[in-house]
A = this chain, B = another copy of it.
Amino acid sequence: MNTPAPVRLLLCDDHAVVRAGLHALLSSADGIEVVGEAGSGEEALALAARVRPDVVLMDLQLGDGMDGVTAIGKLTADGGPRVLVLTMFDTDADITRAVEAGATGYLLKAERPEELFTAIHSAASGRTALSAPVADCLMARMRNPHPTLSEREQEILGQLARGLGNRDIARALFISEATVKTHLGRIYGKLGVETRAGAVSVAKERRLLS
């Protein structure tokens, strides 16, 4: 009985303790070999180019520097490794962005560790790996599509969260005040709120803002 080659895994998480924990946990798992640790998106890219892992296990929240989604895009661009997202949030926006960027799987840190092991092997062979709540979220989204904010609307929202008035938002984005009001009205509709404060609140909760 021949042992298959272990999955070569690269860890990427900005929290050193969590990273070390994952390293310790996964090193003891069969068929998995941790070949590197990165604490940022930049580091992950550099390391991946050098050690050529089969799978990158990546958190989406990477603190300062390169965004997690950006890192996924660059990693998977030219026949790179599979990327398995391991993160804390099962938010619509996060999942969508990660999958669009090229993630092979999406797991939650709340999942049982066994799920993580099998997901890593799935990802290594190119199969999609979603944890149950994430799959639920995707199905729910397809049945009851949450309206998506356009790019411009997100910019408006960003200025809104800075506490700016309509006039200042208009100046900041080089448009007229009337346009700002139009956008805001649509944003309220899409987020299901009626005031600017409510919009900011929902936006922060759904993680629609950096």
Chain A residues with CB under 8 Å of chain B are: 14-18, 20-25, 28, 63, 86, 88, 107-113, 116, 160-165, 193-201, 204-205
Candidates B23, B86, B197; contact of A197 at CB < 8 Å: B197
Note all chain B residues with C-beta closer than 8 A to A109. Answer: 15-18
Known: A195-B163, A201-B163. A20 touches B25 (CB 8 A): yes
Nearest CB of B to A163, in Å: 2
Q: How far, in angstroms, from A86 to B74 measured CA to CA in the complex?
A: 32
Chain B residues with Cβ below 8 Å from A108 are 15, 17
- Since A18-B18, A161-B197, A196-B197 are in contact, a sample of 19 more A-B pairs with Cβ atoms closer than 8 Å, ordered by chain A residue number, is A16-B109, A16-B110, A16-B112, A17-B22, A17-B112, A20-B113, A21-B21, A21-B22, A21-B24, A21-B25, A24-B25, A160-B197, A161-B198, A162-B201, A163-B195, A163-B197, A164-B195, A200-B200, A200-B204
Chain B CB count within 10 A is highest, among A18, A112, A204, for: A18
Question: What are some 6 contacts across the A-B interface (CB < 8 A)?
Answer: A17-B111, A21-B22, A24-B25, A162-B201, A163-B195, A195-B196
With CB as the reference atom, state the residue of chain B lying closest to A201.
B161
Q: How far is the CB of A170 from chain B (nearest CB, A)?
A: 15
Q: Is B196's CB under 8 angstroms from A15's CB? A: no
List the B side residues contacting A196 at CB < 8 Å. Answer: 195-197
